[in-house]
Structure 1
Amino acid sequence: MVSIDEVARQAGVSTATVSRALSGRGHVSDSTKARVEAAAKSLGYVVSASASSLASGRRRNIGVLVPFLDRWFFSTVLSGIASALMRRGYDITLYSLTADRAERRDVFDTFLRRQRVDGVIAISIEIGDEESQQLLALDLPVIAIGGPNPRLTTLTVDDVAVARLATEHLLALGHREIAHIGASPEFDIDFHIPTHRRRGFELALADAGIEVKPSLFEPADFTIEGGFRAAKQLLGKPGGRPTAIFAASDEMAIGALLAARELGYRVPEDLSVVGIDGHELGEFFRLTTVDQFPKGQGERAADAILAELEATNAAPPVHQPGELPYELIVRGSTARLPG
């Protein structure tokens, strides 16, 4: 195994200079740093994580709490976190935090207290008062995506405003019979995002003087299959049919597009469809969406936690919420109401 001494000899510097150059701690000129990195690469030298931890008091590892690993949104946020941390030489440890109380207790009472991480990021998980206190007791930086949580630093998207923007886009195109695919109660957990999106939808209709019709709401499970089934129910009912559908996620909106085509509806001539998220398949399906930049959310959370770790002042961080951006992306699934 290659030692730091061999790297120092090849680069023509001291071992202390090699340590500073590869760890990023302490001043080293750009030319010296480049020479050390070239020597380390040619010799196949990798900094020992345990040695680096002993020297710096850091483990260069961030714990990430995530409720689902098999859902596109969460995996995309996680991808953003991982990319940003890897660029800065940090690893991640994943903790699956389900609704199961025993599993959650294990994570907060045991795993996070083993002191194997330098900070914690929670992705769209509602953390209660007791769990928040346990996190704060670790004396580590904590960033929560999806808040609000007055006790933690949070990054949030205004889901009411996001849904209003999507609905107002359909209203501006002349649509009045607008259906909404939302969520069943069992999926309305952790910050009640589906409820907020339904509220934004209903507020936009009310502002336009349009009555909210229960018959134009259909619950689903935030999947393509769920959106497909819900849209079939909405479009297959006898009587008046909607001219537009607002789905609370892009995956459900894609399901609605597929259902419309199977039933013989032309999109957007007969039916306009809009979703929320910024799904990677949205461009392929020409889906109009409100992009909430999930990968960017992850990158911003990683940058925020590293900024707290690298802050030079000893003062505790001020837990001010940060608003995450969103943007209406108009594609080919929406159009002005004919006539």
Structure 2
Amino acid sequence: MTDTLPGAVGGASAQPPTQPPVPPRPASAGSLGITDVAKLAGVSAATVSRALSGNGRVSAATRAKVERVAQELGYVVSSNASSLASGRTRNVGVVIPYLNTWYFSTLVEGAAATLRERGYDLTLYVLDGGGAQARESVFENFLLRKRVDAVLAVALELTDDEVARLLTLGKPLVCVGGLIPGVRSLVIDNERVSALATEHLIGLGHTRVAHVGGAVELDADFHLGSARRLGYDTAMARHGLATGDDLYAAADFTMQGGYHAAKQLLGRPDARPTAIVAASDEMAIGCLLAARDLGLSVPRDVSVIGVDDHELSPFFGLTTVAQHPDVQGRRAVDVLMTELQPHEGDSALQIDLPYELVVRSTTARPPAP
């Protein structure tokens, strides 16, 4: 990237006649940052970072617009930031909320395998319930050091400041699990995933279908539990089927949580559902164990479906909607590698992840009246 734009004479910016005028620099702007350039250029901070660093895909028109606005505002990346971003450590930082669950560990395994194939190391940062202090330590200290070339954030709804801080230092960022404005994000449609699971049971003939889902107070980043309940509600409403508190029980995405929730739903013979949609496979396995302890047969008395395709799901014969976290980890690394190389041409910020219905032995037609 050159400091003088095409058409400039004697170091002064000559704006092409077809370009709209740049808004005047704010009078209160003391020291400008990447977010100021992004606001005035009408793009995201991530796009500004890609345009000014030459890393990542940005169209020629967008790059020229950002460079023009940055020059008008007198914005430059600090020499300290430039020196930090200039070297390559061939190391990627992966930030996840937890590691002691199947989804996160499987996704990290997929990412690590692909990084290894690409000749990169992986540095793992696990927040593990550490709260704001742990998160601040990772995003304001460890990730800003020279130890990583890029960052992969998993199931974390990053703030504008966290995004801007990384991009100012030229560290490409990719997110998995939800859409972050201006950041390339790999997204699974949790509402449609849950609706697909519910539609499978309705298609078998079930009309009294219950949902074991995440409690509102346990709603994680990107509101996964709420999205999966909404998918269930939407599918039921589409077929004119009733939902309500008597067909819903909250759990914490564990087998134990699913077990206790299913006990509440299945322990009432006069109002027992004939099928359960669980928001995760671990909760679904808990439902299977609860049915067994209540003397019920699956799927003769009650059908159960989950979401994930957990490694234990084939053992239990659990019908599920598979989301392939190992594939998610591999695809995320592939996207991150393209961000580390300069490219021309726009690229979609949202990348939809695949999912599929896997039918096993825990779902069948409802019992005869």
TM-score by length of 1: 0.80
Matched, 1:326 2:355: yes
Q: Distance in 1 between matches of 2:204 and 2:105?
A: 34
CA contact (8 A) 2:208 2:242 kept: no
Letter in 2 for 1:243: T
Q: Which residue of 2 aligns with 1:96?
A: 126
Q: Which residue of 2 aligns with 1:16?
A: none
How many angstroms does 1:238 deviate by? Answer: 5.3
Letter in 1 for 2:117: R
The 5 Å alignment of 1:297-316 reads: 297-309=328-340, 311-313=341-343
CA contact (8 A) 1:151 1:319 kept: no
Matched, 1:129 2:169: no
CA contact (8 A) 2:278 2:305 kept: yes
How many angstroms does 1:135 deviate by? Answer: 2.2
Matched, 1:264 2:295: yes
Q: Which residue of 2 aligns with 1:31?
A: none
How many angstroms does 1:303 deviate by? Answer: 1.3
How many angstroms does 1:87 deviate by? Answer: 1.4
Q: Distance in 2 between matches of 1:241 and 1:303?
A: 47
Structure 1 residue runs without a partner (length 5+): 1-55
Q: Distance in 2 between matches of 1:128 and 1:103?
A: 15
1:48-75, Cα deviation, whole Å (9 max, x unpaired) = xxxxxxxx93211100010001111111
Letter in 1 for 2:322: D
Q: Which residue of 2 aligns with 1:180?
A: 211
1:3-62, Cα deviation, whole Å (9 max, x unpaired) = xxxxxxxxxxxxxxxxxxxxxxxxxxxxxxxxxxxxxxxxxxxxxxxxxxxxx9321110
Letter in 1 for 2:100: D
2:141 to 93, 96, 110: 110
How many angstroms does 1:99 deviate by? Answer: 6.0
Q: Which residue of 1 aligns with 2:227?
A: 196
CA contact (8 A) 1:63 1:119 kept: yes
1:120 is paired with a residue whose SS is strand
Q: Distance in 2 between matches of 1:328 and 1:319?
A: 26
**RMSD of aligned C-alpha atoms?**
1.6
Q: Distance in 2 between matches of 1:312 and 1:131?
A: 23
How many angstroms does 1:319 deviate by? Answer: 5.5
Q: Distance in 2 between matches of 1:226 and 1:214?
A: 17
CA contact (8 A) 1:181 1:246 kept: yes
Q: Distance in 2 between matches of 1:111 and 1:319?
A: 29
Q: Which residue of 1 aligns with 2:106?
A: 76
1:126 is paired with a residue whose SS is coil
Matched, 1:144 2:144: no
1:118-155, Cα deviation, whole Å (9 max, x unpaired) = 11001111111221222222212111001211121100
CA contact (8 A) 1:180 1:218 kept: yes
How many angstroms does 1:206 deviate by? Answer: 0.3
Q: Distance in 1 between matches of 2:237 and 2:342?
A: 50
How many angstroms does 1:112 deviate by? Answer: 0.9
